Amino acid sequence: MSLLEVDSVNSFYGDSHILFDVSLHVEEHEVVALLGRNGAGKTTTLRTIMGVIAPASGSIRLDGKPIHGRPPYEIAHLGMQLVPEERAIFGGLTVEENLRLAALTATNAWTLDRIYAAFPRLAERRRSGGRTLSGGEQQMLAIARALVRDARVILLDEPFEGLAPLIVRDLVRVSRELAQQGRTIVVVEQNVAAALSFADRVYVLNNGHVAWTGTPAELHADPALMKTHLGV
């Protein structure tokens, strides 16, 4: 039994059928990348797993427990955290207030010292308001809010989008360290090189279908596949 199991899931936006019998699994302590062109269904997959979108059919299990159809707050309480593409931090609160708020209902919340050890820049900006942070700092805070809740599975949606190369490098380093510490991660990312640098396995989505699955090495060894589905 895998830690996260998605079986034959179909999801819709209104009348638009977005995911078609999507199946995937994620083992504990594994990093899985969901890759594909824009509109392939990657973000919809994360939102369906997190309960933001209710699947029309199929099943989703976390540690063997069915979670499909549950509201996001219940899924979060079971150990899943989504870091959305838009980050959704509270601009009117300081860095530390954002973290304390996220920790309020956590069963085994991380200490702030542990968070600041992982993100030294956040320690420097701990008294700064969320809206004053740079894009990279906001992304660090968004990931830190998931970690402060001691999430078993972290869903990262486009964590490197729109960020300067040096900031991407720092966030990739943090992601690698989290993976090395045994954190289970599912990452959606357009920056293929960055995602493959710390992923253990890959699913390639195309028009709402799983088109391919394998390791980063196997994907690199198939340039035709990368060009067809990833444009690289």
pLDDT value, residue 45 = 97
Q: pLDDT tens across 129-144, in order?
A: 999 999 889 998 999 9
The structure's pTM equals: 0.91
CA distances for 64 relative to 1, 6, 78, 106, angstroms = 7, 11, 11, 21
pLDDT value, residue 173 = 83
Residue 210 belongs to domain spanning: 4-230
Q: Report which of residues 175 and 212 the model is more confident about.
A: 212
Q: pLDDT tens across 196-215, in order?
A: 988 999 999 999 999 999 99
What whole-number percentage of the chain has pLDDT above 90? 63
Picking from 55, 150, 167, 170, the residue whose alpha carbon sits closest to that of residue 105 is 150
Query: DSSP 3-state assignment of 41?
Result: coil
The token duo for 151 is 């999430």
Over 70: is that where the pLDDT of 232 sits?
no
For residue 86, name the pLDDT band (cuts at 50, 70, 90). Answer: confident
Over 70: is that where the pLDDT of 165 sits?
yes
Averaged over 217-230, what is the pLDDT?
A: 90
CATH assignment of the domain containing 85:
3.40.50.300
pLDDT value, residue 109 = 87
The total domain count for the chain is: 1
